[in-house]
Structure 1
Amino acid sequence: MRPPLRSRGFTLVELLIGGAVGAVVLLGISLTFISQARQYQAHASRRAIQANARQALAFMGRAVRTAGYGVNPDRAVLAYDSYDVESDSAVPGYPDAVVIHWRDTLFRRNVASANSNQIIVQQLPVDPADPGAERGLREPLRRGQILLVLCPLARQHAFVTVRDFVPVGETTIPLDQTMPASAVNTPIGAPGRLFHEQASLDSEACFSAPGTQVVKVRRAAFYVAMFDADGLGSTPERTPYLMMHQGLDMPTDTQPQGDNVIDVNDSVPVAEGIEQLQVAYILNSNNDTAPLVRGVTDDPMLSPNYYGEQWERIDPSLLTNWFFDPSVRFTDARRMADHPANIRQVRLTVVSRSTVADPDIRGDNLLTATEGAPLANGTIPWRQLENLGTPAIEDFNPSGRRFYRVLLRESITPKNMMMNSQFPPVSFTANTLGGG
């Protein structure tokens, strides 16, 4: 008779060995998964910051390309060096800001009368196709809106600013009475001194002559600001954003006409994670001289000083006028000097960073500059962040702190800057006269 078979289990040593082998396999799988997850996260962060930088440049680029259309070249592009939005002032080490102006091609109205207090537009004729259409303004005008009033054939012109909200249907547009010397020069407020020429409407009789027209001028101010979960604040976990301000009193949930104050609260976000914005001007020059490349700076030791409307030119006589005689406009010495009408390109440089720090990296360093030899006129032809030195505040220091970063640069040609005189809008038929 065969003895019964006895079932045999694993010994303790076998269990320990099997457990150890299994643990090693699981550890390897886990490490591989974690490594792949980190790589995916790193690549996702890189893609995100590149997309944010491209979005920022694309948005600003569209505005720069239209800069100066129907607007005097001396006020088409205004840059602010080292602009701190929280103090609304220049603070060394902060990103630059830039303000763009251009004429709105979809708005124009005939003027019945104009003076320094108000503009009265003519009512539109009845449209047989739509007899119920509004004959006054067909779109509202907000506080802070820039208007350009053109005498017949644009012999004279004046830039003015709307004082109060003007609803659809109205024909009277109240004008801001702030005198140019008192108009604040800032990217986050109402338009500055260059757009308060209302006194000209009293001094020049042609502004109330038949054929006078008013058109709208659009404004876009771009700057960088830090935000936390509750808005502007001082907590360490803040995220930088590229913001845009139109110089208008924008509506709120409870105040569709605005709150009668034009301030930082009227801004809108454009792109997340934009840590630095640097602006430079490429200026016209003689044929035998290299173009001037001016990193926007408010350094009093450097000339000129570029800060918004306060463009101190090398030659004070160039302050007189932006208009150059058409017969000599390409050879006039003023077209080859440090003058805002000579801007041929605007060079924008942005640094985009990840919104969440990665504890496994030191962080990309984009502050190191690679420069060529200075040109004869002292211009440095290449520097990653233009005139930016070491930022005085850590929030805007594009190095370390465990963030991924990318730097993108674009030089944009505003092709309307060669304008040397104002021009009236294109005429329409009687039934379509106007547009605003």
Structure 2
Amino acid sequence: MVNQENPIIVAGCRTAFGQYGGILRDVPATKLGASVIEQLIQTEKISRDDVSKVIMGHCIPSVDENVPARQVVIEANLPNHVPSLTINRACCSSMTAVGLAYSEILADPNSLIIAGGMENMSRVPIPIPDLRWGSRLGSITIQDPLVLADPIRGKTAAEDAGAIAVEHGIGRELQDEWAYVSQQRYESAKKRGIFAEEIQGIEVVNKRKEIMFLEDEFPKPATTLEKLSKLATIYNSPTVTAGNAPGLDAGAAALAITSMEKVRNKELSLLAEIVAYTEICGDSGDIATTPARAIIQALEKANLSFADLKLLEINEAFAAVPLTSTKVLAETYGTSWDLVKEITNVNGGAIAIGHPVGASGARIILTLALELKRRGGGYGAAAICGGMGQGDCVIIKV
């Protein structure tokens, strides 16, 4: 039974995710964001005049993507009076967008908010900080934001995640195994048509031809444990490799969120209700446990037990993250680690799908809601870590 006060996810969709330098290489993130909003409105027959606000996560804008959420409103042909908000909480951004929509709808049940995120990591500019004023003598430094390093501590996310995993007894072998299973689960789900339910096509030009981009570009179903074990570690990490980490991808995802009252009055669909949202922060070097700690806090807010959760989605920022967080959850609630892993990312995760950092939070909520629906409903938690010790969780009920 639906709690009449809980905000409702009417529906959601995403683009297929493109790999680094792939089919979406030259497509602005704002175009990706506008595309999913247009598809969402058309597919669900939502009146553009009913959209109260657009909240979009976006982490590293290209030079032509200033005020990105506002650009999306205009490109999606929404009324000019629709306000927008761009969120940057690193990888948490689009889940934070959903959390803000949740709070605003609790305050104003007449609102209908589109929340999500977008990113194209192939278009991230490479800045030259000293170039504007010149250098009287010596070399000029070029910086690459895609290294994803903590600007205060100087350590990379891969280094931090690997170190925390090792502290919890989770070494390279377990991380490679998780990556392999993620690829296999994704391939199995794809063959069953699972992702066709969440992906809406986008027309792009590829090799001078206009094509409809409909399938995730990053998955590597042919990988093996032997191949994964031979990869070198990256970014000074003790365990993280290109094989047990996601790619630097491109894509967008969006959810339409409103009140139960508006669902009835406008005869809208009902995909899931949002039961709780929480955002946490901790030690800036600890991203691997933040999804677990966010789930624990969200369960307390919702007055639920861990046993109430049928499924988990924990973003695979690296294999180290879901492994560490599922172990923390198992230890916290006195249950089997294997059982927690079994219900986590059942259709594969970002290691296979890809991780456009501004979009992944909304993507895992959508993936979770649709899988709960296929399994007859129930509670699920989607959680994600973000750089410098951040974490978000959304609990939904289908």
Quickly name the TM-score band, shorter chain normalised.
Answer: under 0.3
Q: TM-score scaled to structure 2, two decimals? A: 0.26
Name the structure, 1 or 2, with higher relative contact order (CA <8 Å, separation 6+). 2
Q: Which structure has greater helix proportion?
A: 2
Q: TM-score scaled to structure 1, two decimals? A: 0.24
Q: Which structure has greater strand proportion?
A: 1
